[in-house]
């Protein structure tokens, strides 16, 4: 990875802590013992810094946020010292404050932006009410406060009047999140704690909110604590990064040092397991094992069961804070050797077997018949009309519009796009779970909906149903919580392999469980889904689809619900199962780096979806290193990278918000956001062009064609239309 | 990597197995093992869940008591007849007539015992009828929403919701006198004829949300049949609600039966709680302090069984919560590491009702 100084000055560490956290723990009393969800944490938060806190889910990072506001929910108890040091006046111990003191501290001094703006606003009240109530509850002058609120909203590139008079559902996710940031700033706090503020947002929106945070920090003189599970995300903005593992900090240091030269094995492994666009995929390795249970944290160093460097000392002795340098403590006995032992670049050993089999590109498969072939597929949803609208046309959401794509035997196609762009609908249409309103979906030459209605009798509907399977995004709801692993997994066998008796079925389920690494399988087979971890649930869901022996599996964001350190492992498993079962995959993902990992490892293709249209398709190489469509370029730009450079470029996009899908723009649907849009894009919709000199790479943009009328058309981009960020 | 090792481990040392589908069965579940698991899942776990809760312990005791009274009682206690004992003996005065006698010298305890089985039969048939019809129609309508099937089923449901239930039952009771005389099962069904509409409606609306869940879509993708999806995959999520309705339907049958017998609208052969009340009323027992127990005995019986059913119904919902179940089953209990207590709310979709 390369280093270069970024555009904003990374603040040298100085000693003026605004919050000092000493020996702070949070415990929950549970039936089976005391659960320590924050373990003896020490941390100084410096005035006016952006501190990134990174940890997997269940590492205690949200607890830390709650403890800062002394807002740990019952029956949790926080103890230790959290000292707030105002610029003038006496230091205050946050955990000792009385009710009135807490009220003054929360929101007025330290405020918080929660995860999921959707649920932070009351859906039946206008945004203005939320601001007024906040001001009122803290006895602030309301007129003055609202004036300030309008100013903040403007700084966040929102129209104050429009936003304040809206109900929450009338705002997009990104606008809501910005409004929430404004709400947390209205009482002029000094510290802003943000708990996964962008987790529910799209890539492009995430990117712009991140840059906004930098702006408001300067403008309002804030100290920001940014909590996330996504290391690359904070890499851009944080001055320092703290890594939480098993309820304590394992490492804390300046961003550059953490990214380039981390000293703790966990940080190094985490960095390696994070898929990104630049690093060769061979270097991406999963972190083995899973995070410990809060009641039963391993003795000694809590990371030792997963650590390749662990020795006797690690098993018995809890590592104290060793100092890499004055600003960089690390809790590892072997920090000095970790950097050499766990190399960040050369690791070409294990997985070469996995990929070599599949890396013949699809170029030659053109002659073979596709398994599933979509031709000009359209899926339009009509929105409901009220009685009084009976004379007007109903609104139609064009979820999928004119998409054609072929999927071959043992093929992998990854669909990438923002949420609401229709990629999931397209995926479900491809596996026959959504009936298209136009065009055709063919399975081995038979239109599947003709087969279903009985007009095409060349193939059985059951055969199609068996061959096209789905793996859902959230493994928690993909498995029936009332059914044991065994019952869930036997269902497909009972339906499709009637000649098997109970013992054969069980045997098959057992061997598959073992095959995906859930050992001992006898232990797992009687469990209910809630007794499995997220990764295990996803494996069971995957096996269930595999037991049908399908020809195509549509995997709807199969790893986005998993912890970062488990994603690579899960994707490797899926690739390995593809080899065993000879299936094709249609992946759906919003994350370009995951898409690249899968597609590059299997020799598949990436398809970029925008507002129901497939705007570009090609090999990962082509999509990432030679993107043709401006939207693909924007997606590549927005994908967070572990490096520190890159953000100096201007955003290759004009507006952040996606147009209303019920009223898509005319002509090229991307022209409203495209930095290269010209007059012709407004009126004509571009066909899919073959990219010259490249096989299997198509893009739906006039710019691909060198002598198109586009080049003589007038530009419609104006200076004042450029986006708000960077 | 973990899965590399495991893929090796299932390969026998001879030829490599290319697909896990070719695995031969070496797993043999013995009969006793299977019975043990069935016992664990269907007897041991529910009982141990129920018995942890005082409401359930009381409810279960009361209901089992009435069951014993209805099944064993008639074999042990002889039916009473007129002038068996002195008239209007007070309760607990004479051990031969523990609960006293009525104005014609009939033993009230024997009357209670011999009417319990009738009442229990009515309750069983009425409650099962309500719940089975309501759940079936509601869940199919909900699963097939926006289809003609849903329109038809919902319209039928609406008709039954809007029927004035009690007057209808009164009229039908008079019309079908021959069929229901001496047939408590028929009385139970008759009393519930218009009672399932509300349940069907509620189940349908729950179904509308549940059918959006991913596991339902996965089942559809597997090509499972609609009855399997509706009744095996989705319905278990509604069981807590269904069970509460089952017990309250039972209570409603008792109340309606008693009321109709009291009013003298339903024909009867044998004495039961309702007719006991009617006879007491006609004998102006409410105005005679010495005859008050004639009223009280059937009333206490009614209140007691009603309380028993309510308590049992309330606590049974936890039996259907997989998290609670898993903690109580021997097969799975040791791996369950979640620390929640039994008092957590049952499954989410029930929150609305």
pLDDT for B112-128, tens place per residue?
888 888 889 999 999 99
- The region of weakest confidence among A377-391, A421-435, B204-218 is A377-391
Do A547 and A627 have their domain in common?
yes
CA distance B251 to chain A (A): 29
How many CB pairs lie under 8 A apart between chains A and B?
147
How crowded is the C-beta side of B36, counted as CA atoms within 13 Å?
8
ipTM above 0.95, yes or no: no
> Tens digits of per-residue pLDDT, A240-294?
999 988 888 888 988 888 888 888 888 888 888 877 777 777 777 777 777 777 7
C-beta separation of A519 from B6 below 8 A:
yes
Do A202 and A300 have their domain in common?
no
Taking residues A118-128, report their average pLDDT: 85
CA distance A686 to chain B (A): 35
Domain at B66, CATH number: 1.10.3720.10
Domain at A37, CATH number: 3.40.50.300
A341, A371, A404: which is the final residue of a domain? A341
pLDDT of residue B26: 60
pLDDT of residue B200: 94
pLDDT of residue A359: 43
Q: Do A492 and B222 touch (CB under 8 A)?
A: yes
Please indicate whether residue B286 or residue B58 has the higher confidence score (pLDDT): B58
> Tens digits of per-residue pLDDT, A558-584?
888 777 777 888 888 898 888 888 899
How many Å apart are CA A368 and CA A371, to the nearest integer?
A: 9
pLDDT of residue B216: 92
User: A4 CB near a chain B CB, below 8 Å?
Assistant: no
Q: Do A517 and B2 touch (CB under 8 A)?
A: yes
Instruction: Give the whole-number percent of chain B exceeding pLDDT 70.
Output: 85
CA distance A215 to chain B (A): 40
Closest residue to A495, CB basis, from B25, B224, B233: B224
Do A334 and A374 have their domain in common?
no
Decide the pairing of beta strands A412-416 and A396-407. unpaired
Assigned domain for A143 exists = no
Closest residue to A466, CB basis, from B6, B215, B223: B223
Chain A hits for B6, Cβ within 8 Å: 514-517, 519
Do A647 and A534 have their domain in common?
yes
Do A366 and A269 have their domain in common?
no
User: A697 CB near a chain B CB, below 8 Å?
Assistant: no
User: B221 CB near a chain A CB, below 8 Å?
Assistant: yes
Indicate which of B3, B219, B227 best probes the interface with A, i.e. most A CBs within 10 Å of its own CB: B3
What is the chain A residue with the closest CA to B335?
A: A531
Instruction: Give the whole-number percent of chain A exceeding pLDDT 70.
Output: 89
Do A276 and A337 have their domain in common?
yes
pLDDT of B352 > 70? The answer is no
Chain A hits for B33, Cβ within 8 Å: none
Indicate which of A511, A535, A554 best probes the interface with B, i.e. most B CBs within 10 Å of its own CB: A511
pLDDT of A426 > 60? The answer is yes
Domain holding A208, by residue range, is 17-120+188-238
Instruction: Name the nearest CA neighbour of A185 among A249, A246, A135.
Output: A135
Assigned domain for B20 exists = no
pLDDT of A154 > 80? The answer is yes
pLDDT of A527 > 50? The answer is yes
pLDDT of A205 > 60? The answer is yes
Residue A11's pLDDT band (cuts 50, 70, 90): very low
Residue A254 has φ and ψ, to the nearest 5°, of -60, 145
> Tens digits of per-residue pLDDT, A612-669?
889 999 998 888 888 888 888 888 888 877 655 545 556 677 776 677 777 778 888 8
CA distance A287 to chain B (A): 9
Residue A301's pLDDT band (cuts 50, 70, 90): confident
Whether pTM > 0.95 for this model: the answer is no
**H/E segment holding residue B243:** helix B235-263
pLDDT of B157 > 90? The answer is yes
pLDDT of A303 > 80? The answer is yes
Closest residue to B25, CB basis, from A496, A503, A514: A503
Please indicate whether residue A119 or residue B129 has the higher confidence score (pLDDT): B129
Residue B288's pLDDT band (cuts 50, 70, 90): confident
pLDDT of A696 > 80? The answer is no
Instruction: State how many domains chain A has.
Output: 3
Assigned domain for B23 exists = no
How many Å apart are CA B240 and CA B243, to the nearest integer?
A: 5
Instruction: Name the nearest CA neighbour of A726 among A13, A215, A117, A6.
Output: A215
Taking residues A365-384, report their average pLDDT: 79
Taking residues A193-202, report their average pLDDT: 81
Q: Do B337 and A496 touch (CB under 8 A)?
A: no
Decide the pairing of beta strands A412-416 and A438-443. unpaired
Chain A hits for B328, Cβ within 8 Å: none
User: A576 CB near a chain B CB, below 8 Å?
Assistant: yes
Assigned domain for A161 exists = no
CA distances, A423 to each of A297, A406, A614, B67 (Å): 41, 15, 9, 59
pLDDT of B230 > 70? The answer is yes
pLDDT of residue A128: 92
Taking residues B74-87, report their average pLDDT: 78
User: B337 CB near a chain A CB, below 8 Å?
Assistant: yes
Residue A106's pLDDT band (cuts 50, 70, 90): confident
How crowded is the C-beta side of A215, counted as CA atoms within 13 Å?
17
Residue A118's pLDDT band (cuts 50, 70, 90): low
| Average pLDDT score over chain A | 81
Instruction: State how many domains chain B has.
Output: 1
Do A324 and A435 have their domain in common?
no
Do A637 and A604 have their domain in common?
yes
Chain B hits for A512, Cβ within 8 Å: 20
Q: Do A531 and B331 touch (CB under 8 A)?
A: no
Assigned domain for B300 exists = yes
Residue B158's pLDDT band (cuts 50, 70, 90): very high
Q: Which residues contact B305 (CB under 8 A, 6 or more apart)?
A: B62, B63, B66, B119, B254
Assigned domain for A155 exists = no
Residue A31's pLDDT band (cuts 50, 70, 90): low
Assigned domain for A564 exists = yes
> Tens digits of per-residue pLDDT, A329-367?
888 888 888 877 777 654 444 344 344 334 444 444 455
How many Å apart are CA A453 and CA A3, to the nearest integer?
A: 60
pLDDT of residue A5: 41
Do A633 and A599 have their domain in common?
yes
Q: Do A473 and B214 touch (CB under 8 A)?
A: yes
User: A572 CB near a chain B CB, below 8 Å?
Assistant: yes
Domain holding B308, by residue range, is 48-329
Please indicate whether residue A393 or residue A110 has the higher confidence score (pLDDT): A110
Bridge partners for A492 per DSSP: none
User: Angle, nearest 10°, between helix axes A203-220 and A630-638?
Assistant: 50
Do A326 and A398 have their domain in common?
no
Q: Do B1 and A466 touch (CB under 8 A)?
A: no
Assigned domain for B286 exists = yes
Please indicate whether residue A725 or residue A70 has the higher confidence score (pLDDT): A70
pLDDT of A721 > 50? The answer is no
pLDDT of B25 > 60? The answer is no
For A106, the token pair is 């929360």
pLDDT of B99 > 90? The answer is no
Instruction: Name the nearest CA neighbour of A13 among A55, A58, A46.
Output: A46
User: B151 CB near a chain A CB, below 8 Å?
Assistant: no
Residue B330's pLDDT band (cuts 50, 70, 90): low
Which chain B residues in 287-326 lie under 8 Å from chain A, judged by CB atoms?
320, 322-323, 325-326
Do A404 and A465 have their domain in common?
yes
- The region of weakest confidence among A405-409, A536-540, A589-593, B93-97 is B93-97
pLDDT of residue A1: 38
């Amino acid at each position: 990875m390369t280093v270069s100084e970024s555009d904003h000055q990374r603040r040298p560490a100085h000693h003026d802590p605004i919050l000092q956290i000493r020996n702070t723990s949070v415990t929950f009393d549970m039936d089976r013992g005391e659960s320590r969800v924050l373990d003896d944490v020490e941390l100084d938060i410096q005035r006016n810094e952006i501190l990134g806190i990174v940890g997997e889910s269940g590492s205690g990072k949200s607890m830390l946020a709650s403890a800062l506001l002394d807002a740990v929910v019952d029956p949790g108890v926080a103890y230790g010292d959290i000292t707030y040091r105002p610029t003038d006046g006496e230091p205050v111990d946050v955990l000792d404050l009385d009710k009135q003191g807490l009220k003054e501290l929360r929101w007025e001094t330290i405020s918080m932006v929660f995860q999921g703006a959707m649920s932070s606003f009351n859906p039946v009240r206008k945004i203005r009410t939320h601001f007024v109530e906040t001001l009122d509850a803290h006895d602030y002058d309301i007129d003055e406060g609202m004036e300030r609120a309008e100013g903040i909203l403007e700084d966040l590139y929102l129209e104050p009047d429009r936003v304040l008079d809206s109900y929450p559902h009338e705002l997009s996710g990104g606008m809501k999140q910005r409004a929430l940031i404004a709400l947390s700033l209205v009482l002029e706090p000094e510290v802003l704690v943000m708990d996964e503020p962008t987790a529910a947002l799209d890539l492009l929106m995430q990117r712009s909110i991140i840059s906004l945070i930098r702006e408001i920090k300067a403008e309002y003189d804030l100290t920001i604590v940014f909590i996330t599970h996504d290391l690359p995300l904070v890499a851009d903005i944080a001055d320092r990064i703290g890594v939480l593992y098993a309820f304590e900090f394992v490492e804390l240091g300046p961003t550059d040092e953490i990214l380039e030269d981390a000293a703790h094995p966990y940080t190094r492994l985490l960095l390696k397991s994070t898929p990104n666009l630049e690093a060769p995929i061979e270097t991406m390795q999963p972190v083995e094992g899973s995070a410990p249970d809060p009641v039963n944290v391993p003795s000694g160093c809590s990371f030792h069961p997963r650590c390749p460097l662990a020795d006797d000392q690690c098993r018995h002795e809890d590592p104290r804070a060793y100092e890499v340098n004055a600003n960089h403590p690390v809790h590892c006995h072997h920090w000095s050797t970790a950097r050499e032992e766990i190399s960040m670049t050369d690791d070409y050993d294990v997985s070469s077997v996995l990929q070599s089999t599949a890396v013949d590109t699809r170029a030659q498969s053109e002659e073979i018949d596709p398994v599933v072939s979509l031709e000009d597929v359209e899926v339009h949803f009509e929105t409901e009309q009220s009685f009084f609208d009976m004379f007007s046309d109903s609104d139609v959401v064009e979820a999928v519009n004119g998409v054609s794509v072929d999927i071959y035997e043992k093929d992998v196609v990854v669909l990438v796009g923002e949420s609401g762009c229709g990629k999931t609908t397209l995926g479900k249409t491809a596996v026959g779970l959504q009936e298209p309103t136009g065009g055709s979906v063919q399975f081995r030459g038979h239109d599947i909906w003709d087969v279903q209605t009985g007009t095409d009798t060349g193939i059985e509907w059951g055969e199609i149903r068996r061959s096209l399977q789905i793996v859902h995004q959230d493994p928690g709801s993909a498995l029936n919580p009332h059914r044991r692993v065994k019952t869930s997994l036997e269902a497909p066998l009972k339906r499709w392999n009637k000649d098997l008796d109970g013992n054969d079925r069980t045997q098959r389920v057992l061997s598959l469980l073992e095959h995906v690494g859930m050992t001992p399988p006898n232990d797992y087979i009687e469990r209910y889904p809630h007794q499995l971890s997220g990764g295990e649930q996803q494996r069971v869901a995957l096996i269930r689809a595999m037991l049908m022996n399908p020809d195509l599996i549509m995997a709807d964001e199969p790893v986005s619900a998993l912890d970062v350190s488990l994603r690579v492992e899960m994707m490797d498993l899926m690739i390995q199962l593809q080899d065993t079962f000879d299936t094709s995959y249609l992946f759906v993902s919003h994350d370009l780096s995951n898409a690249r990992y899968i597609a590059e490892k299997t020799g598949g293709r990436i398809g970029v979806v925008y507002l129901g249209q497939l705007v570009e398709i090609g090999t990962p190489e082509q999509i990432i290193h030679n993107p043709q469509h401006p939207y693909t370029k924007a997606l590549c730009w927005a994908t967070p990278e572990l490096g520190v450079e890159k953000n100096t470029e201007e955003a290759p996009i004009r507006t952040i918000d996606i147009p209303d899908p019920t009223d898509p723009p005319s002509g090229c649907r991307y022209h409203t956001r495209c930095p290269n849009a010209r007059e012709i894009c407004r009126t004509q919709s571009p066909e899919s062009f073959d990219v010259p000199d490249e096989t299997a790479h198509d893009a739906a943009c006039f710019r691909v064609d060198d002598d198109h009328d586009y080049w003589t058309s007038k530009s419609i981009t104006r200076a004042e239309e450029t986006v708000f960020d960077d | 990597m973990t899965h590399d090792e495991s893929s090796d481990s299932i390969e026998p040392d001879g030829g490599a197995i290319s697909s896990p589908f070719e695995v031969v069965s070496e797993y043999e579940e013995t009969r006793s093992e299977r019975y043990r698991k069935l016992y664990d899942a269907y007897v041991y776990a529910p009982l141990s869940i129920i018995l942890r809760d005082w409401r359930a312990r009381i409810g279960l005791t009361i209901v089992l008591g009435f069951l014993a009274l209805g099944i064993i009682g008639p074999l042990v206690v002889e039916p009473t007849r007129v002038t068996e004992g002195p008239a209007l003996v007070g309760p607990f005065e004479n051990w031969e007539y523990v609960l006293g006698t009525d104005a014609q010298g009939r033993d009230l305890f024997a009357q209670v015992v011999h009417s319990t089985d009738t009442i229990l039969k009515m309750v069983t048939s009425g409650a099962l009828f309500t719940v089975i019809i309501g759940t079936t129609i509601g869940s199919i309508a909900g699963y097939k929403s926006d289809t003609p099937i849903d329109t038809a089923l919902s319209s039928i449901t609406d008709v039954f919701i809007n029927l004035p239930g009690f007057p209808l039952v009164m009229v039908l009771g008079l019309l079908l006198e021959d069929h229901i005389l001496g047939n408590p099962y028929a009385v139970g069904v008759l009393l519930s004829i218009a009672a399932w509409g509300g349940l069907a409606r509620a189940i349908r609306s729950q179904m509308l949300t549940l059918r959006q869940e991913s596991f339902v879509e996965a089942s559809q993708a597997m090509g499972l049949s609609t009855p399997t999806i509706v009744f095996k995959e989705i319905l278990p999520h509604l069981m807590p609600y269904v069970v509460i309705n089952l017990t309250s339907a039972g209570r409603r049958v008792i109340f309606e039966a008693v009321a109709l017998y009291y009013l003298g609208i339903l024909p009867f052969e044998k004495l039961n709680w309702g007719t006991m009340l009617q006879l007491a009323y006609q004998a102006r027992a409410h105005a005679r302090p010495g005859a008050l127990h004639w009223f009280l005995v059937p009333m206490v019986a009614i209140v007691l069984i009603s309380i028993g059913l309510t308590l049992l119904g309330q606590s049974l919902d936890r039996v259907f919560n997989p998290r609670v179940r898993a903690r109580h089953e021997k097969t799975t209990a040791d791996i369950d590491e979640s620390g929640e207590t039994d008092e957590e709310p049952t499954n989410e979709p029930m929150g609305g009702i």
